[in-house]
Amino acid sequence: ASRVMVASRNYADFASEATFEIKKCDLHRLEEGPSTTAVMTREEGLHYYKTMQTIRRMELKSDQLYKQKIIRGFCHLYDGQEACCVGLEVAIKPTDHVITAYRAHGFTYARGVPVREILAELTGRKGGCVKGKGGSMHMYTKNFYGGNGIVGAQVPLGAGIALACKYFGKNEVCLTLYGDGAANQGQIFETYNMAALWKLPCVFICENNRYGMGTSVERAAASTDYYKRGDFIPGLRVDGMDVLCVREAAKFATEYCRAGKGPILMELQTYRYHGHSMSDPGISYRTREEIQEVRSKSDPITLLKDRMVNNNLASIEELKEIDVAVRKEIEEAAQFATTDPEPPLEELGNHIYFNEPPFEVRGPNQWIRYKSVS
């Protein structure tokens, strides 16, 4: 029935674009900030909606596969935070660089890795995006450097990537992400200092989802104004549940870096629906009512959906069709991820270096040797 309704309505009946008022960012050491109005075309809106819905469904499927013990080990899910990775990705260029912490599935998909390769990586299969060797926390693709498991350790690496951008004279930036739980790590402040001294094109981004593992930000940090933590580095505090807010702030931040002004810091105020990881039920340190309130008032997908329907950029039926197509894609990806073979043991030593001649790697004892191929 929905298909008939969409077909009977000419796409020319929809508006081609609409302008929205968005929340003003809080500013630190900046005279002007991002625009408080954002234009979104119908095409952009449909892309944002499908991408966020795909990430949401992929994470829910990951939850299911984990509970079935098909996905093992650490697994940190991103549902609730979809507006962050999607808003950032659409504001940058494919040649720009992204590095994040272990809650990485959404960024991996936004950077162009298909769902089937992400789920197959989670299940440790040969068809995974890193051949089943990385799992949940270590996924990579071109200009995306993971997925990093050591808290805060990716921040100095991000500054190093930004240094390479500057050194080679490329007009590129690096988005360097970390969570509120990592924001108190000493190496982050060391990195701020180096990035400011060398004017590196680095956008430091704190995804503040209000809880570092099971500890609320108020109990973990004397100051929860994470966007001011760079001190001498300018900062923005952004509504991380609104994809348009994130997009406009990211455009502003990357333009600032490209202008040669040095680093800038963004705090994205967001929320995770799952616990810290799959081993955390997520309700021992916060209430079910709190989670439900965020879902009902601030859900990034619902917010975008309402904007599109209310401004005649799409119909409810059209968005439902996208939902059906996304569910089908996720189910097919899950089927692949549970039937694809595991990588053979002889490939254990592969991919240590990029673009190097093959060499031998010692196995668990000195008599076992593996050949390492790039």
**Residue 264 per-residue DSSP state:** E
Q: What is the pLDDT of residues 143-158, one digit of tens each?
A: 999 999 999 999 999 9
**Which pTM value belongs to this model?**
0.95
Can you give the pLDDT at residue 9? Answer: 59
Domains of the chain, residue spans: 17-277+288-343, 345-373
For residues 105 and 58, the answer to whether their CB atoms sit within 8 Å is yes
Bridge partner list, 179: 207
Q: Could you give the angle at the alpha carbon of 239 between the alpha carbons of 234 and 240, nearest 5°?
A: 100
The span from the CA of 249 to the CA of 240, in Å, is 10
Helices (H), 213-283: 217-220, 243-258
Q: Per-residue confidence at 178, pLDDT binned at 50, 70, 90?
A: very high
Can you give the pLDDT at residue 366? Answer: 84
Q: What is the pLDDT of residues 105-146, one digit of tens each?
A: 999 999 999 999 999 999 999 999 999 999 999 999 999 999
**Residue 141 per-residue DSSP state:** B
Q: How much of the chain, in percent, has pLDDT values that exceed 70?
A: 97
Q: What is the pLDDT of residues 305-321, one digit of tens each?
A: 999 999 999 999 999 99
The span from the CA of 156 to the CA of 270, in Å, is 23
The span from the CA of 283 to the CA of 276, in Å, is 10
C-alpha of 24 from chain center: 22
Summarize the confidence of residues 162-174 as an average pLDDT.
97
Place domain 17-277+288-343 in its CATH homologous superfamily. Thiamin diphosphate (ThDP)-binding fold, Pyr/PP domains (3.40.50.970)
Helices (H), the chain: 2-8, 42-67, 82-91, 105-110, 115-122, 154-167, 186-197, 217-220, 243-258, 288-298, 300-310, 316-339
Q: Per-residue confidence at 8, pLDDT binned at 50, 70, 90?
A: very low
C-alpha of 277 from chain center: 16
The span from the CA of 345 to the CA of 341, in Å, is 12
Bridge partner list, 369: 362
